[in-house]
Amino acid sequence: MNRKWHRAGLRGRGNSLPSPFSHRALGNLHSRPGRALCKVAAPAGSVTMAQTAGSTAGLGFLSLLFSLRLCPAACDTHSLCYNFIIIPKPSPGHPWCVVQAQVDAEDFFSCDCGAAQIQSVSSLGEKVKGTKNWEIQIETLKDVGDFLKEQLPDIMPENYTARDPPTLQVKVTCQSQDDGHTSGSWKFAFNGQICLHIDSDNMTLTVVHSGGRRMKEKWESDRIVTSFLRNISLGDCKSWLTHFLVHWEKMLKTAASPTTAPPIAHSKGAAIKPSAWFPLLVLVLAGLVPTVLLG
């Protein structure tokens, strides 16, 4: 039975506008639209899709984790990234969804997005943890995790089966510029191979590996799904970045200094920085540590 999407409607703000994933499971998306946290105006004209010629060279799983985790950061810009790992068949007692969040390449929290439970919080996260936008963010990330899990059977490459599904890695990014423009993007990968890139500005879907073809074919004509992805990256992500930067400005300037950096605080008393344990955690959850260490 599909999960019902009712939480987004309950968390709506004053500027909320219609969105597809509020009241129905993904299997019934087209029959009953709901409401969303943020809505972004659709780009002029029809949605365009593009596919690259050929495919890129394969990336190792560990290399992918670092490339997906690191958000772009420049002195005149600010970026917010959410890195999801969806593990269809996790080991007993381990989460099926993990998300690591970064602002300007600085970790600020990680959580079990399947249960909406925080695993680790940095000093940046502690600064905004009590805000309304923080709570909205956590619940929305759970919605994204549910969306990805429900989509996985229909978008995974044909060489995988339901009995042996791949691990899905996803990065969503929004980046603000000095001129006020905010750009957004999504990257999707299966078992360490980046397969699809989405430019949220014009909703161009680009296949960068054959493993992304089914994803593109399923989504390219589905305006409900593409609108959802665009709203998350250029609506919700942009809104959170704007609100959180009010609290973070001085801390980020300190973090950018070559001599100082903000201390890391942890919700469960751990004494290790999230950036150090997150890649290994994901490898353990995915059951890929032996492959990486011995391969």
Per-residue pLDDT reduced to its tens digit, 90-104 = 999 999 999 999 999
User: If phi over 0 gives left and psi between -120 and 50 gives alpha, with beta otherwise, what is residue 139?
Assistant: alpha
**Quick one: average pLDDT of 57-78?**
50
| Arithmetic mean of pLDDT over the chain | 72
Q: For the chain, how many structural domains are there in total? A: 1
Q: Indicate whether 45 pLDDT > 50.
A: no
The full length of the chain comes to 295
Q: Which of the 8 DSSP states describes residue 135?
A: H
Neighbours of 214 (CB within 10 A): 17
Query: Is residue 117 assigned to a domain?
Result: yes
Q: Residue 27: what pLDDT?
A: 37
Q: Residue 258: what pLDDT?
A: 54
Q: Residue 56: what pLDDT?
A: 34
Comparing 85-99, 110-124, 162-176, 270-284, the range with the smallest average pLDDT is 270-284
Query: Is residue 226 assigned to a domain?
Result: yes
Query: How large a percentage of the chain has pLDDT more than 70?
Result: 60
Query: Is residue 25 assigned to a domain?
Result: no
Tokens of 172: 């969503």
Q: Indicate whether 124 pLDDT > 50.
A: yes
Comparing 13-17, 200-204, 253-257, the range with the smallest average pLDDT is 13-17
Domain that holds residue 215: 60-294
Q: Residue 173: what pLDDT?
A: 97
Query: Is residue 169 assigned to a domain?
Result: yes
Q: Residue 257: what pLDDT?
A: 57
- Contact (CB, 8 A) for 217 and 156: no
Query: Is residue 133 assigned to a domain?
Result: yes
CA dihedral 213, 217, 222, 226 (to 10 degrees): 20
Q: Indicate whether 146 pLDDT > 50.
A: yes
CATH number of the domain where residue 255 is located: 3.30.500.10
Between residues 36 and 92, the one the model is more confident about: 92
Query: Is residue 141 assigned to a domain?
Result: yes
CA distance linking residue 165 with residue 40, whole number of Å: 33
